[in-house]
Structure 1
Amino acid sequence: MRIDLGNLPTDTALLHQLVRDMAAVVERRDGEIERLQQIIKKLQRMQFGRSAERLDPGQLALALEDLDADIGRVVESHPVVVADVAEPPAHRKPLPEHLPREEVRIDTDHAACPGCGGVLHGMGESVSEMLDWVPAQLRVVRIVRPKYACRTCGTVAQAPASERVIAGGLATPALLAQVLVSKYCDHTPLYRQSQIFARHGVDLSRSTLAGWVGGACWWLEALHEKLCANVFASDHLFADDTPVPVLDPGRGKTKTGRLWVYAREQRGWGGPDPPAAVFLFAPDRKAERPVTHLQTFKGVLHVDGYAGFEQVAARPGVTLAACWAHTRRKFYDVAKATGSPIAEEALQRIADLYAIEADVRGKAPHWRLAARRKLSASRVENLRLWLESQLAQLPARSTLADAIRY
């Protein structure tokens, strides 16, 4: 909005209108400035705050490991006086009871008292424990199937060969599981696993390991389908998605895909079904993804504010439940960035609802329903009315207004 200061109107009504127009522009710009300032502060917290250091976390972990190793070398270089009774330091956690124990007895060489030559009598034991590692090893399983022949009719009898996970493959199910866990849980790429096997004297190329992974995953697809059917048959699910970088062949870079997760968690209210979760990959965040995934689902779907879930709820039998954690996070970000007393008040009111939920967590459904009707319903309604009154007084583009609308 440009104003010719040398040619201002002289009419009072026009001047009033000009001031109102300028005030509206300033209000919009103030809201945009506040929004951008909050984004900057949020990014600064992510970059420099306690939860995310400026140094890459992986590099920081390596640096701390090197520091611990240096400290260990210094400690080991000092002379150590071994006590007669070895007791673990007070801060050390006991070793897990489920681990197998191998007893090593260290007895005295003296059959008689070294002081006077008298008879030695047992008076107890001093017991200490050390944690040991049994190195993993490869072994060859020889499958022997004897053959038998009938001299009367010439019939040959032999037990049929057992089925292998990968037809004609060398790997046992245990070895396949090890390769998969190392790749997908421990993030050890196949070329590095190939090097590890080479140290054991076995040449397994990366292409061979890749074939094993593909063959094993083919079998796991059936298990994944069963898990999906079990989870989507629930009447209450949590749904969310998270970005994941994926290779973009031909471009020499990565692109952003999405992992959609659908979880069943009933322990909070003593539900009968065990917790379970399924992950489904998609190349994007289009609404058609959850619509397709949840095509058979009927019940309550606990989600964030992603608009794509509205299409899921358009189908009969599906009810969306909003997530208080996401709502609270919006006000938390505003309070942290601006110190807004309105955001602080909203956080306190939400905390009161959380306290009520903490008291009824794990109780029977009718108990929780009664408590929510008696204690929570009025608080939620008062919160709604209060937020609506605050929203009417805020710039439309402010971050606090965005949090309230969310």
Structure 2
Amino acid sequence: MIDLDDRTCRCCRGDLHVIGADVAERLDVVPAQFRVVVTRRPQYACRACEDVIVQAPAPARLIEGGIPTEASVAHVLVSKYADHLPLYRQAQIYARQGVNLDRSTLADWVGKAAFLLRPVHARLFERLKASDRLFADETTAPVLDPGRGQTKTGQLFAYARDDRPWGGLDPPGVAYLYAPDRKAEHPIRHLAGFKGMLQVDGYAGYKVLAARNGVSLAFCWAHVRRRFYELAKAGPAPIATEALARIAELYQIEGEIRGRSPDERRAVRRDRSRPIMAALEPWLTAKLGLISQKSKLAEAIRYALSRWAGLSCFLDDGRVEIDNNMVERVIRPLALTRKNALFAGSDGGAGHWAVVASLVETCKLNEVEPQTYLTDVIVRIVAGHLERNLDDLLPWAHAPQPLKAVA
């Protein structure tokens, strides 16, 4: 409030009265501040009984005897896995505010929290695996290998659900699972019991999974398009350019029907997309016979033709997407964390990465603020939340708290 010191009229010296006010808003910031939470537990003794001393029990803590509150630990988790700040950078930020925390101490907090959250992560994956359709993808996870003095390449497999494009009621989510390599045995083990449609890229391990577990595969048109795009970008490439134009027609139709019901999507695809597909396959086959079989263009065409059945799945099921882009979007945060942190300290550390990142990214998909969510869940588990009620701890069980827009 900025007001006059003198509220009398300059002319007659009478009292002035308020007729309005100008209001201006400015965005200010208060940097994050640390505080010390003190818990006092009085001790009581009986005057008649010398050996009687009673006291209220100490509240449970995530880290017994440690200094952090659950909110402090959640902040470290969100900074690392949502904001992609490595622990050494977080330690530098805290030091500027007079709080000296070693990176190894922060790593211990992350490990204990991730271990505590493992049942929630496992339940999240169970709920996703119970769906009729999932997206799947994988990305590298460099892991320190002390025996060799260098890093080894592990894998983070991502299994995601998003039914929003066709109005499905199941909430979106993603679960990451770490594996030490890219062998087909890992997705086979992960998806044991899953019998639905799996939307994937061209990774051969998923074909092995489909053959053994009876899973149907829907392949990704974005991967097909990307191969032709790289050729067209490099210089004049009439066949690749024509292929891109035909694929663009399919995507234009998809943009028009996004958000409609499965029946509507299927009907439009059969009327408009199927003729495009029916003409595209023989056209690609004919062009393949005219070019060198060792060329990149031939590889791109064979990539598409060899997966044609899986690329056609979206025509007959309005719940199936044309591509695998949904799971690629939730893979990108892993790449940012990997770029900034360089590697996980161990296989166990990579497993912790998978647990916490799964919950953070599922929060983001459901517009749930991850700091609030993780703090609440950690507090409730530490206080003895029953494992049979794990559904109450999943990210979509929390009320959405989208960020407020700034005018």
Q: TM-score, normalised by structure 1?
A: 0.68
| 1:258 shift after superposition | 2.3
| 1:205 shift after superposition | 3.0
**In the alignment, what sits opposite 2:74?**
177
Q: 2:19 aligns with which of 117, 120, 123?
A: 123
Structure 2 CA distance for partners of 1:160 and 1:365, relative to 1, 3 Å: same
**In the alignment, what sits opposite 2:287?**
390
| 1:109 shift after superposition | 2.0
Q: 1:272 aligns with which of 159, 169, 174?
A: 169
| 1:156 shift after superposition | 5.0
**In the alignment, what sits opposite 1:257?**
154
Matches of 1:151 and 1:120, distance apart in 2:
69
Q: 1:369 aligns with which of 259, 266, 270?
A: 266
Matches of 2:207 and 2:150, distance apart in 1:
33
Q: Deviations over 1:63-106 (max 9, x none)?
A: xxxxxxxxxxxxxxxxxxxxxxxxxxxxxxxxxxxxxxxxxx00
Structure 2 CA distance for partners of 1:356 and 1:185, relative to 1, 3 Å: closer
| 1:273 shift after superposition | 0.8
Q: Deviations over 1:231-266 (max 9, x none)?
A: 111111111112343333244443433222111111
| 1:145-164 paired onto structure 2 within 5 Å | 145-149=41-45, 157-164=54-61
Q: 1:212 aligns with which of 101, 105, 109?
A: 109
What is the DSSP-based 3-state SS (H/G/I as helix, E as strand, rest coil) of the residue aligned with 1:315?
helix
What is the DSSP-based 3-state SS (H/G/I as helix, E as strand, rest coil) of the residue aligned with 1:362?
coil
What is the DSSP-based 3-state SS (H/G/I as helix, E as strand, rest coil) of the residue aligned with 2:60?
coil
Q: Deviations over 1:356-392 (max 9, x none)?
A: 2222211111111122222222221211111111111
Matches of 1:187 and 1:345, distance apart in 2:
40
Structure 2 CA distance for partners of 1:116 and 1:224, relative to 1, 3 Å: same
* Letter matched to residue 4 of structure 2: T
| 1:119 shift after superposition | 4.5
For the Cα contact (< 8 Å) 2:188–2:213, is it kept in 1? no
**In the alignment, what sits opposite 1:19?**
none
Structure 2 CA distance for partners of 1:365 and 1:187, relative to 1, 3 Å: closer
Structure 2 CA distance for partners of 1:188 and 1:359, relative to 1, 3 Å: closer
| 1:149 shift after superposition | 4.8
Q: Which runs of 5+ in 1 are unaligned?
A: 1-104
| 1:301 shift after superposition | 0.6
**In the alignment, what sits opposite 2:313?**
none
What is the DSSP-based 3-state SS (H/G/I as helix, E as strand, rest coil) of the residue aligned with 1:182?
helix
Matches of 2:259 and 2:207, distance apart in 1:
30
Matches of 2:114 and 2:23, distance apart in 1:
47
| 1:199 shift after superposition | 4.0
Q: 1:330 aligns with which of 211, 227, 245?
A: 227
| 1:4-403 paired onto structure 2 within 5 Å | 105-114=1-10, 117=13, 119-149=15-45, 157-403=54-300
| 1:318 shift after superposition | 0.9
Matches of 2:201 and 2:103, distance apart in 1:
41
Higher Rg of the two aligned structures: 1
Matches of 2:87 and 2:246, distance apart in 1:
51
Structure 2 CA distance for partners of 1:173 and 1:364, relative to 1, 3 Å: same
Structure 2 CA distance for partners of 1:121 and 1:268, relative to 1, 3 Å: same
- What is the RMSD of the two structures over their aligned residues, measured on CA atoms? 2.3
| 1:340 shift after superposition | 1.7
Q: How many residues are aligned here?
A: 302
Matches of 1:359 and 1:199, distance apart in 2:
52
Matches of 2:213 and 2:139, distance apart in 1:
27
- After TM superposition, the structure 1 stretch with the greater mean CA deviation from structure 2, 153-162 or 328-337, is 153-162
Matches of 1:259 and 1:173, distance apart in 2:
27
What is the DSSP-based 3-state SS (H/G/I as helix, E as strand, rest coil) of the residue aligned with 1:328?
helix
What is the DSSP-based 3-state SS (H/G/I as helix, E as strand, rest coil) of the residue aligned with 1:237?
strand
- After TM superposition, the structure 1 stretch with the greater mean CA deviation from structure 2, 117-126 or 306-315, is 117-126
Matches of 2:283 and 2:295, distance apart in 1:
17
* Letter matched to residue 381 of structure 1: A
**In the alignment, what sits opposite 1:78?**
none
| 1:210 shift after superposition | 2.5
* Letter matched to residue 135 of structure 1: P
Q: Deviations over 1:145-182 (max 9, x none)?
A: 33445667776543322211122222110111122223
Matches of 2:113 and 2:257, distance apart in 1:
44
Matches of 1:270 and 1:167, distance apart in 2:
46
Matches of 2:210 and 2:137, distance apart in 1:
15
Matches of 2:61 and 2:209, distance apart in 1:
42
| 1:338 shift after superposition | 3.5
Matches of 2:211 and 2:243, distance apart in 1:
30
Structure 2 CA distance for partners of 1:146 and 1:357, relative to 1, 3 Å: same
| Percent identity (aligned) | 57
Matches of 1:355 and 1:190, distance apart in 2:
44
Matches of 2:165 and 2:127, distance apart in 1:
19
Matches of 2:161 and 2:289, distance apart in 1:
39
